[in-house]
Amino acid sequence: MLDVQRHANLFRAEWQKIAGHRWATGLLIWIFPMGALGILAIMLLVALLAPPDIQRNFGLASVNGSVDWTEIMLGAWNIPNEMFGRIILIAFTAVIFAGEYQWGTWKNLLPRRRRVPLIVNKFVTLGAFVVVAFGAASLIAGLGMFLPVKIAGGQYGPPLAEALQSDFVRNFAVQAATTFTATIIAAVYAALGAMLTHSILGSIMIGIGLMILELFSMGIFALLGSLFGHPEIVGLYQLMPSYNLSNVASLITHQPSVNPPFLLNYVAPNSLELSVLILFVWVFGLMTLTVLLFRRQDVTF
Amino acid sequence: MTEIALRLHHVAKTFGRGKKQVQALKNLDLEVQAGQVYGFLGPNGAGKTTTIRILLDLIRPTRGQAAIYGRDPRRDHGVLGQVGAIVEGAAFYPFLSGRRNLEVLARTGGAYDRGRIDSLLEQVGLAERAGQYVRGYSTGMKQRLGLAAALLSDPDLLILDEPTNGLDPAGIQEMRVFIRDLVDRHGKTVFLSSHILSEIEQVCDRVAIINQGALVREGAVADLLAGSAELRVEAAPLAHAAEVLAARWPVQPNGQSITVRADRAAIPEVVRALVAAEVDVFQVVSQRQTLEDYFLSVTQSPEANHA
């Protein structure tokens, strides 16, 4: 019981720090739910003032029938899984990780708690913070559309009972878990940058560098394949986080598997389960690497 | 038997590799008994902060062992719960208030107590400004907040690295009284690193002086200074006086006077020796060496520089 309380205290401490950094959270995280609110306000204005054809252009009345709030809610989670979203996450996590070096605050924390729980808690709290923010954006976007759609005379659905009977809840949870995973992967990239450079800017640069390297890994694998006469090496791209994050997001929103044309000749797309498993291995492996490096690091600043 | 609060055994630390290698500590041995204020002195780059960081498990020694109340903080991190510290100036989250910073640290340590935070803010004189962002604090205010942070868990041992940096004279005086009070009335142990030697001299029971990563001197302040008392002798003829005194004490000509390595009790004997040798004695003054004089003499001696 006491241990649970200690962990809860540690989580709360990290949450206070993150939430207290209003510039970072405001510009990089809360901007998404705020953006959703802004879009809703525009939709309301369109619903109230614009003629029907413009309202249709704004998606307030679907051509095929009702506006599907479940699709809107699931789609809102895709932002952190795409390149722009991942850059934002790296910048945010860099502030939180490298900030401890830049503000000289590790020296206050490390005598109070072992390094492993401190850093694992940092990952978990960051992930939870981002999930809460995008969960809020998803709720605002999905449920908030009710009002402008109804004002515009459109159909809003499906009914809640029907949505709950479908895979919506499961898919919503998987989207939240994928966002959590994307945050942790971004956080690890930023944390590795922070440990090397001890600066926020350096951490962002290294984090984005690692992400770009990961995105271009398909090209690297293709090059290696042609060099060694084994073009199927390109299939290794399907083991990379970026591929699997996109694949999960796509499958959950009832779109086809991600399958870049380059890969088509060599491998079948990953299933949802395989993508989730690969992401889990990445998260566990990257976190373990960070923890090992952090445990060995001398804190001299 | 008195408890040992802190012990360093053959502690060495080397930073970097190859040509960039720097040996910050060389087989440092130190023992601090509980219930005293222990001064830790050394010139810049002597290894003071490295030693403190090793004690707090912020850096790993290359060799040797550190122990706090007999437990190695590296293997038994829990012992650091008995320690409060300010390391190389207090550092906080600039975007949080003073109170919120203390809350974060208390929660990180697993022991949040709002009442204790209020009381500490009151004690260090920050209660009125606890709600302000730390980015607006002066260096002195940050140091006060640092002291409050160090005391959060009501530790038995306080490790304070330059705690008076940025404090005004009244603040330094308050800090001195506060530190003495912690030891005398509350039974704490304070390991105090400072470059303000007058402060160390006034507040510490014992001191260790390190230079270039090695221990140069260690002992009770009174003992260290007693062994190095001096007499300033004005007499004529000066050369003859020096000759007479040199037969019994170490003597150094010093312009229009002679400095004799002897304590106050030797004055009558000095005067008798000079009168017997028909030297006119004008003045014999006992000069108590300050810790600063002593510090400079031991850290600048060739012996210390080759430690």
B79/chain A closest Cα distance in angstroms: 9
pLDDT digits (tens, 9 = 90+) for B92-112: 999 999 999 999 999 999 878
- B269-272 contacts at long range (C-beta below 8 A, 24 or more positions apart): B270/B231, B270/B233, B270/B245
- How far is it, in rounded angstroms, from Cα B163 to Cα B160? 6
Q: Which of A145, A164, A162 is nearest to A154 (CA)?
A: A145
> Per 3-state DSSP, what percentage of chain B is helix, strand, and coil (rounded to 5)?
40, 30, 30
DSSP codes of every residue in A78-126: TGGGSHHHHHHHHHHHHHHHHHHHHTT-HHHHTTTS-HHHHHHHHHHHH
| Average pLDDT value for residue range B46-73 | 95
**B59, B109, B111 ranked by CB distance to A299: nearest:** B59
- B291-B293-B297 Cα angle (round to 5): 115
Task: Give the pLDDT of residue A165.
Answer: 80
Dist. CA A158–CA B299, nearest whole Å: 82
Cβ–Cβ under 8 Å, residues B211 and B51: no
Q: Is A43:A35 a contact under the CB 8 Å cutoff?
A: no
Looking at residue B36, the DSSP 8-state letter turns out to be: S
Any chain B CB within 8 A of the CB of A104? yes
SS3 category, B38: strand
Chain A partners within 8 Å of B53 (Cβ)? 107, 298-300
Q: Find the mean pLDDT for residues B58-77.
A: 95
ipTM entry: 0.87
* Cα–Cα distance, B15 to B133 (Å, whole number): 36
Nearest residue in chain A measured CA to CA from B55: A111
| A109/B contact by beta carbon, under 8 A | yes
Q: Is A19 on the interface with B (CB under 8 A)?
A: no
Q: Please state, in angstroms and rounded to a whole number, the distance separating the CA atoms of residues A220 and A136.
A: 38
Residue B193 pairs in a beta bridge with B40, B161
- Please give the mean pLDDT across all residues of chain B: 90
Could you report the per-residue pLDDT of B124-172, keeping only the tens digit for each?
Answer: 999 999 999 999 999 889 999 999 999 999 999 999 998 888 888 888 8
Q: Which of B57, B145, B93, B152 is nearest to A110 (CA)?
A: B57
The Cα of B253 is separated from the nearest Cα of chain A by a number of Å equal to 46
Angle between helices B114-123 and B98-108 (to 10 degrees): 130
Residue B107 forms contact with A (CB below 8 Å): yes
Closest CA to B52 of B167, B190, B165: B190
Kindly write down the DSSP assignment for every residue of B120-167, as one continuous string. HHHHTT-GGGTTSBGGG--HHHHHHHHHHHHTTT--SEEEEESTTTT-
User: Could you list the pLDDT tens digit for every one of the 301 residues in chain A?
Assistant: 468 888 999 999 999 999 999 999 999 999 999 999 999 999 889 888 888 788 777 777 655 567 888 888 988 888 887 888 889 999 999 999 999 999 999 999 999 999 999 999 999 999 999 999 999 999 999 988 888 888 888 888 788 888 888 888 888 998 898 889 988 998 999 999 999 999 999 999 999 999 999 888 888 998 998 899 888 888 888 899 988 888 887 887 677 777 766 665 667 778 888 998 999 999 999 999 999 999 989 988 7
Shortest CA gap A99–chain B (Å): 9
Does residue B60 sit at the A interface (CB-CB below 8 Å)? yes
Parallel, antiparallel or unpaired: strands B37-41 and B63-68 = unpaired
Q: What's residue B270's pLDDT?
A: 92
Q: With the C-alpha atoms ordered A129, A130, A135, A141, is the resulting torsion angle positive or negative?
A: positive
Question: CA angle at residue A107 from A103 to A111, to 5 degrees?
Answer: 150
What does the pLDDT look like over A254-290, one tens digit per residue? 777 777 666 656 677 788 889 989 999 999 999 999 9
pLDDT averaged over every residue in chain A: 88
Tokens of B90: 């207090």
Q: Report how far residue A261's alpha carbon sits from residue A282's, in angstroms, rounded to the nearest whole number.
A: 24
* Contacts by residues A269-275 (CB-CB < 8 Å, ≥ 24 positions apart): A269/A238, A270/A238, A270/A243, A270/A244, A272/A174, A272/A247, A272/A248, A275/A243, A275/A244, A275/A247, A275/A248, A275/A251
Distance CA B85, CA B151 (A): 8
Closest by CA to B176, choosing from B187, B153, B155, B160, is B160
Range B239-261 average pLDDT? 90
Using the Cβ of A112 and the Cβ atoms of chain B, whether some distance falls under 8 Å is answered with: yes
> Torsions phi, psi of B46, nearest 5?
-75, -20
Cα–Cα distances in angstroms (integers) from residue B124 to residues A70, A298, B57, B165, B270, in the given order:
55, 31, 27, 15, 51
Q: Which position has the token pair 């055994």?
A: B9
Task: Show residues of chain B in contact with A298, CB under 8 Å.
Answer: 15, 53, 58-60
Nearest CA to B104 out of A91, A194, A102, A18 is that of A18
Find, in chain A, the residue whose alpha carbon is nearest to that of B103.
A13
Testing the interface with A: which of B107, B112, B165 to mutate, by most A Cβ within 10 A?
B107
- Distance between CA B271 and CA B129 in Å, rounded? 61
Chain B, window 120-179: residues with a beta carbon less than 8 angstroms from a chain A beta carbon: 149, 153
CB contact under 8 A, B96 and A17: yes
Q: Quick one: pLDDT at residue A71?
A: 87
Q: How confident is the model at residue B286 (pLDDT cuts 50, 70, 90)?
A: confident
So what's the pLDDT on residue B159?
A: 96
Contact call for A9 and B107, based on CB within 8 A: yes
Of B73, B87, B153, the CB nearest to A107: B87
As a dihedral over the C-alpha atoms of residue B258, residue B262, residue B264, residue B266, rounded to 10 degrees, the angle is -100
Q: Between residues 223 and 242 of chain B, which touch chain A (CB distance below 8 Å)?
A: none
The average pLDDT across B205-232 equals 85
**Using a CB-CB distance cutoff of 8 angstroms, which residues of chain B are in contact with residue A110?**
56-58
At B287, is the secondary structure helix, strand, or coil?
strand
First to last CA, chain B: 32
Cβ contact, residue pair B56, A111, below 8 Å: yes
Quick check: B25 and B61 in contact, CB under 8 A?
Answer: yes
- Percent of chain A with pLDDT strictly greater than 70: 95
The answer to whether B85 faces chain A, any CB pair under 8 Å, is yes
Q: Which residue of A has its CA nearest to B74?
A: A114
pLDDT score of A233: 86
Question: What is the gyration radius of the CA atoms in chain A, in angstroms?
Answer: 22
B221 and B197 in contact (C-beta within 8 Å)?
A: no
Q: Can you give the pLDDT at residue B301?
A: 65
Residues of A whose CB is below 8 A from B86: none
Inter-chain contact A107–B56, Cβ cutoff 8 Å? Answer: yes
Closest-CA residue of chain B to A6: B110
> Which residues, including other chains, have CB under 8 Å from residue A93's CB and lie 6 or more apart?
A126, A183, A186, A187, A189, A190, A191, A207
Q: Using CA atoms, how far apart are residues A279 and A214, in angstroms rounded to an integer?
A: 14
Q: Of the candidates B92, B144, B121, B152, which has an alpha carbon nearest to the alpha carbon of residue A21?
A: B92
Give the contacts of B71 (CB within 8 A, at least 6 positions apart).
B78, B79
Q: Which residues of chain A make contact with B76, given a CB cutoff of 8 A? A: none
Q: For chains A and B, count residue pairs whose Cβ atoms are closer than 8 Å.
A: 91
Instruction: From chain A, pick out residues whose CB is under 8 angstroms from the CB of B93.
Output: 17, 20-21, 99, 103, 105
Q: What is the DSSP string of B219-274?
A: EEHHHHHHTT-EEEEEEESHHHHHHHHHTTS-EEEETTEEEE---GGGHHHHHHHH
Element (H, E) at B277: none
CB A191 within 8 A of CB A139: no
Main-chain dihedrals φ then ψ at residue B164, nearest 5 degrees? -100, 5
Opening angle at CA B70, ends B221 and B157, nearest 5? 55
**Is A20 close to B93, i.e. CB distance below 8 A?**
yes
Helix, strand or coil, per DSSP, at residue A266: coil
Q: How long a stretch of residues is chain B?
A: 307
Q: Is the pTM of this model over 0.80?
A: yes
